[in-house]
Amino acid sequence: MTDHNQNIPLRGRKASHEHPQFPRQDWQLEYQNGDTQLSYWDWVAKVREETRSLRHHAGA
């Protein structure tokens, strides 16, 4: 999966990088609350897909 904002494969990124729309702090909160077991970049991919799906269904 590729992040089109950075043109760098998600799996090839260093741990210190952060997606501009999905802060690590948001993922960390979900992780600590037990709402996700995904790694940060897997979580970003999931949230991006969910966001895309919501926009599609809303007609945006």
What is the model's pTM? Answer: 0.65
pLDDT digits (tens, 9 = 90+) for 3-60: 444 444 555 555 668 999 999 999 999 999 999 999 999 999 999 999 888 777 777 5
At residue 38's C-alpha, the angle toward residues 18 and 44, to 5°, is 35
With respect to residue 13, please indicate whether it lies within any of the assigned structural domains: no
With respect to residue 35, please indicate whether it lies within any of the assigned structural domains: yes
With respect to residue 60, please indicate whether it lies within any of the assigned structural domains: yes
Write 7-15 long-range contacts (CB < 8 A, 24+). 10/41, 10/44, 10/45, 11/41, 13/41, 15/40
Q: Burial-class residue 60 by CB neighbours within 10 Å (0-12, 13-18, 19+).
A: exposed
For 12, phi and psi rounded to 5 degrees? Answer: -95, 5
Report how many domains make up the chain. Answer: 1
